[in-house]
Amino acid sequence: MSMHGMRGLSVFISEIRNCQNKEQERLRIDKELGNVRNRFKNEKGLTPYEKKKYVWKMLYIYMLGYDVDFGHMEAVSLISAPKYPEKQVGYIVTSCLLNENHDFLRLAINTVRNDIIGRNETFQCLALTMVGNIGGREFAESLAPDVQKLLLSSSCRPLVRKKAALCLLRLYRKNPDIVNVDGWADRMAQLLDERDLGVLTSSMSLLVALASNNHEVYWSCLPKCVKILERLARNQDVPQEYTYYGIPSPWLQVKTMRALQYFPTIEDPNTRRTLFEVLQRILMGTDVVKNVNKNNASHAVLFEALALVMHLDAEKEMMSQCVALLGKFIAVREPNIRYLGLENMTRMLMVTDVQEIIKRHQAQIITSLKDPDVSIRRRALDLLYGMCDVTNAKDIVEELLQYLSSADFTMREELSLKAAILAEKFAPDLSWYVDVILQLIDKAGDFISDDIWFRVVQFVTNNDDLQPYAAAKVKEYLDKSAVHETMVKVSAYILGEYSHLLARRPGCSPKEIFSLLHEKLPTVSTTTIPILLSAYAKILMHTQPPDQELQSQIWSIFNKYESCIDAEIQQRAVEYLALCQRGAALMDILAEMPKFPERKSSLIKRTEYSEGDTAEQSAIKLRAQQQTSNALVVTDQHPANGATSPVPVGQLSLVKVPSMITTENDTSTDHPLSQQNGALSNVDPQPPSADLLSDILGPLAIEGPPGATVQSEHNAVSGLEGGSDAADGSAIVPVDEQTNTVQPIGNIAERFHALCLKDSGVLYEDPYIQIGIKAEWRGHHGRLVLFLGNKNTAPLVSVQAIILPPAHLKVELSLVPDTIPPRAQVQCPLEVVNLRPSRDMAVLDFSYKFGTNMVNVKLRLPATLNKFLQPIQVPAEEFFSQWRSLSGPPLKLQEVIRGIRPMPLPEMANLLNSFRIMNCPGLDPNPNNLVASTTFYSESRPAMLCLVRIETDPADRTQLRMTLASGDPTLTFELKEFIKEQLISIPTAPRSPAPPAAQPTPQIPPNDPAAILAGLLS
Amino acid sequence: MIKAVMVINTQGKPRLAKFFEYLPLEKQQELIRNVFGVLCSRPENVSNFVEAESIFGPDSRLVYKHFATLYVIFVFDSSENELAMLDLIQVLVETLDRCFKNVCELDIVFNYSKIHTILDDIICGGQVLETRSTEIMRAVEEISKLEAAPNAITLIPKSSSGWLSR
């Protein structure tokens, strides 16, 4: 073999093995890499043997996890060596070290082609293998005809042809056009007449790939598949070497049945009958035997047959036969078969009418929940979750609760979420539901997401009968010695609202409830304290007649927190103290929370989403696709339930318990955050902080009927922005008009503008995909998460996301998977660092394939200038001294702007506020003027204060004079332009770049592609 | 489609790693570490399946077999049959066993080029290519003949037998 005789290599490996620790290993490897690098530098003296040796060393080092960033050329050059040993090394190492886009690889295309069309069979095999492993688009274009020829050639040996088939498959994946659909279907059918099982196995893989994209063309292959399956199942004409532990090629059998699952149905009655006979034979003729390998092989075939039976929607009799088999499997000793039995039973749930039969196995499935193998426990959990309905919910949920205490940590979160959902979905009565959730919090508090306890609060609030029960229950839990913080939260909320309903019970006087809660305060974190403070205020309000002692106790607590460093706590303390002193007004303000609008549980929505990918498997894919889409897709297309983005659902649509609104934000971000609530501005145009109630009643009091939330949010946004126009849809730039036949849902430009104002929402949506975005901004850092949600029951493939960052942003996108499975959602974090002020925009170049549709869109990312601003309130003296010291251009710029969209001054102030530029009322004596300030954060400089003055003309609202000042000329210019764009262009004016010719724009490097693109887009 | 084949020893050292979808090196190493982290905590006599989506993303499955000091791992998507993949691991291992006459970890360490050749004969582009270990052996021997070099590997001692116990 290649390394035979390579003493140097064996010695090197031995030395590495003898290294005592990682440090030694690294030193040895660095030395070797240095050595190899030197030898490659002076290539003249290098013999092919040495080159080969060094290239193997590189591969070995690479496998150990060390980056080898040189020598790629040497590896590729070995491909063209005339002798086999060097050539082989070249091909193998190249396929391991390089990826399909590597430039060196393109250089080798000609050599590779010569090997493929040459007469040396061994070279053909090497070349086909490499192309089959890493060939890219260019390979596809230049090699496809040659590879097809080899595959179809009658003079080629099977050894070459089977490789050619898989090579062609790879090339087809890289460029589907290389397979001419009409002509190829006949050839494909011809290939299936092949007698050689090796060629047949590869061809079947090729058919699976082709048919999964477009099964209609390949109808003629269907009867041939059935014939092949029959031949194998009856063991006719199968050479001995193709049987594996006595089973005729299980791989070919499995692949053939997989191929059949890509055809929706089999119409020809004869073919169908033959197939069912074969399947019947497989189902009945497979036994569990002693030999593990034989078992695995025969059951591979059996489970695939089961999947095919389910796919074909066989007669009821055959189905119940399948369920019976599965029932047998989940009880056998062999763990693999038990595992697959459970998994397939879960899939079986999608078939109608078998649920009742599956329920008979409930006891056995519950036993599997205690299996020593976590993989099996997971499958059992999935199955129990899937088979749960009103009749068995109580049993199953109680089983899950019991299991929770002993379950391993990796499963607890999923387990508790599933239990919570089942409890909600199938609760026979609500008090049972409350019991379950409280038990969950008690047993696995760390794993209970906020969603879960928000939901229980929602139920309790909406059901009067439930309130005393829930209050009494949480009190019981609080009486225990160790209480989880989540329990404190939910208890505080419920007791604050409803403990007065218990007042007559022993131990439930306001005072007792208060001290019960208050003794927990030292143990909780700052996110819980605000809820406790609210509870105190409510308890105090409910204490009739007033209890002076309690009152002074609670007031002193408020007093203490008035100077708390945490803004949320401080605000509450101040507000409650002020409220309490108003006496009677307190009653109205702190009255019981109104009922929540009925809406679908986001918990349920969330799992429906993920249910899609666990239950959905390729076998059932097509059929599911043919079924009319269920509620899931509908809910997600119309975010009428208050959800504006796919995953933030949790945060957005659930009961917005007030304290959750500001948890991690400091004072300075308070404003834009409340502003984001959107709906606020409808009710009260004043800055939110002026509204003492906003923080308690904020989202609740304002919420109308379910649909209205989103509506009002939209209004608020468009109110601020002035209603985006449809003409602006040009943000979508189809790269190639013909490929983009998919129409986006909603207006992309509108979505973008909305996202400039808020931090989460939908960036893009079309019938196949929804791209949501969620962002967090801290100074000059931004952390965005892209949520790529596949809305379909088929996968999206060739998914690519590339960020074209402008020069002023450092953007890092984590790996985006090539495929998004059906109904799945992928999260791709994105880090943004702002280097300099600029209005250029980062663009997301996103493409994917669905069926034959190639979709490519270029989307602006809302990493706009305003995201790096923090509002700041500047006291008058400071403002004026700064204003004076920034005396004139280029630090202070003034411009008269015409064509302004007329708006009242408060609206303009709101608009600025929404961009985090804070209005400073009272600084300018002229009521027609507006003064605002903000700070800008970038990596290159410390936070930079920016001051804005806008002078309006009451006689002509379409013009104004704006002056902008900051310590950085670029910032001054960019921010001025930015504000200007917001003021003028929104309603009708085309977004032509407005800056007057005189303004130099040196900040935009002319050769920056993103800048050019952004220019095109704006 | 098969996404990756890995051979990791019970200490967590990779002995072979082949990815059929390109991944940067750091990512490969991270995946290897994560897989090892899961496998090393699994008891004996459990199933050969491990939940893989948390490591490899959606639509991925993992089967593995544990032999003496090595784990052999296949990662693939839902278009493959799990048990058939397990059979393919067996084919790989039986072929190695024939090649090295009772193979052990050291054989793989010092002959990783041969392992690559064998693997290229079994899987191509993430698809099953050849399943007859006799045929693979024949191809490998044919190749060996093309290399007229003396055999230096005999210096390596054989270790524990019974490697194929499961």
Of residues A89, A162, A821, nearest to B58 (C-beta): A821
- For A642, the token pair is 């208050």
Selected residue of A4, A137, A330 to mutate for chain B interface (largest B Cβ count, 10 A): A4
Please tell me the distance from the alpha carbon of residue A279 to that of residue A247, in angstroms, as a whole number: 15
The answer to whether A49 faces chain B, any CB pair under 8 Å, is no
Of residues A62, A296, A613, nearest to B87 (C-beta): A296
Q: Which residues of A touch B23 (CB under 8 A)?
A: 815
Q: Which residues of B touch A338 (CB under 8 A)?
A: 47
- Give the number of beta-carbon pairs within 8 Å between A and B: 205
Q: What is the pLDDT of residues A672-708, one digit of tens each?
A: 333 333 333 333 333 333 333 333 333 333 233 333 3
Q: Give the pLDDT score at A1013.
A: 42
The answer to whether A256 faces chain B, any CB pair under 8 Å, is no
The answer to whether A340 faces chain B, any CB pair under 8 Å, is yes
Q: How far is B92 from chain A (nearest CA, A)?
A: 13
Determine whether the interchain pair A258/B81 forms a contact, defined as Cβ–Cβ distance below 8 Å.
yes
Rounded to 5 degrees, what are φ and ψ at B69? -100, 10
Determine whether the interchain pair B143/A122 forms a contact, defined as Cβ–Cβ distance below 8 Å.
yes
Question: What are the beta bridge partners of residue A801?
Answer: A846
Please tell me the distance from the alpha carbon of residue A155 to that of residue A690, in angstroms, as a whole number: 87
Q: Give the pLDDT score at A623.
A: 35
Determine whether the interchain pair B132/A166 forms a contact, defined as Cβ–Cβ distance below 8 Å.
no
CB A94 within 8 A of CB A108: yes
Q: Which residues of A touch B13 (CB under 8 A)?
A: 64
Q: Give the pLDDT score at A99.
A: 86
Q: Which residues of chain A have pLDDT under 50?
A: 1-4, 610-739, 987-1006, 1008-1018
3-class secondary-structure state, position A899: coil
DSSP state at residue A714: H
Contacts of A844 (CB under 8 A, 6+ apart): A763, A786, A801, A802, A803, A804, A858, A859, A860, A861
Strands A769-778 and A760-765 turn out to be: antiparallel
Cβ–Cβ contacts within 10 Å for residue B45, how many? Answer: 10
Rounded to 5 degrees, what are φ and ψ at B124? -135, 125
Please tell me the distance from the alpha carbon of residue A74 to that of residue A52, in angstroms, as a whole number: 9
Q: Give the pLDDT score at A740.
A: 53
Alpha helices, DSSP H, located in B10-104:
25-39, 53-56, 82-100
Of residues B28, B57, B87, nearest to A250 (C-beta): B87
Name the A residues in 593-632 with CB < 8 Å from any B CB: 613, 617-618
Selected residue of B87, B114, B143, B154 to mutate for chain A interface (largest A Cβ count, 10 A): B87
Q: Which residues of B touch A250 (CB under 8 A)?
A: 83-84, 87
Please tell me the distance from the alpha carbon of residue A622 to that of residue A639, in angstroms, as a whole number: 27
CB A199 within 8 A of CB A157: no
Q: Give the pLDDT score at A723.
A: 37
Please tell me the distance from the alpha carbon of residue A98 to that of residue A112, in angstroms, as a whole number: 15
Q: Give the pLDDT score at A74.
A: 86
CB A167 within 8 A of CB A204: no
Rounded to 5 degrees, what are φ and ψ at A960? -155, 170
How many Cα neighbours within 13 Å face the side chain of A39?
Answer: 20
- For residue B77, is pLDDT > 90? yes
- Which ipTM was obtained for this model? 0.89
The answer to whether A224 faces chain B, any CB pair under 8 Å, is no
3-class secondary-structure state, position B101: coil
Q: Give the pLDDT score at A632.
A: 22
Cβ–Cβ contacts within 10 Å for residue A241, how many? Answer: 14
Q: Give the pLDDT score at A605.
A: 67
Q: How far is A393 from chain B (nearest CA, A)?
A: 26
Please tell me the distance from the alpha carbon of residue A51 to that of residue A48, in angstroms, as a whole number: 5
pTM above 0.80, yes or no: no
Determine whether the interchain pair A254/B81 forms a contact, defined as Cβ–Cβ distance below 8 Å.
yes
CA B108 to chain centre: 10
Determine whether the interchain pair A166/B125 forms a contact, defined as Cβ–Cβ distance below 8 Å.
yes
Residue of A241, A239, A147, A243 whose CA lies nearest to A202: A147
- For B65, the token pair is 């077999």
Determine whether the interchain pair A201/B128 forms a contact, defined as Cβ–Cβ distance below 8 Å.
yes
Give the residue on A whose Cα is nearest the Cα of B64: A336
Q: Give the pLDDT score at A689.
A: 35
Q: How far is B72 from chain A (nearest CA, A)?
A: 15
Determine whether the interchain pair A96/B18 forms a contact, defined as Cβ–Cβ distance below 8 Å.
yes
CB A460 within 8 A of CB A498: yes
Q: How far is B68 from chain A (nearest CA, A)?
A: 17
Determine whether the interchain pair A170/B88 forms a contact, defined as Cβ–Cβ distance below 8 Å.
no
Mean pLDDT of chain A: 79
Q: What is the pLDDT of residues A44-87, one digit of tens each?
A: 778 878 888 899 999 999 988 898 888 888 889 899 988 888 89
Contacts of A749 (CB under 8 A, 6+ apart): A724, A725, A728, A729, A730, A731
Please tell me the distance from the alpha carbon of residue A896 to that of residue A879, in angstroms, as a whole number: 22
Question: What are the beta bridge partners of residue A764?
Answer: A771
Determine whether the interchain pair A1/B59 forms a contact, defined as Cβ–Cβ distance below 8 Å.
no
Rounded to 5 degrees, what are φ and ψ at A729? -65, 0
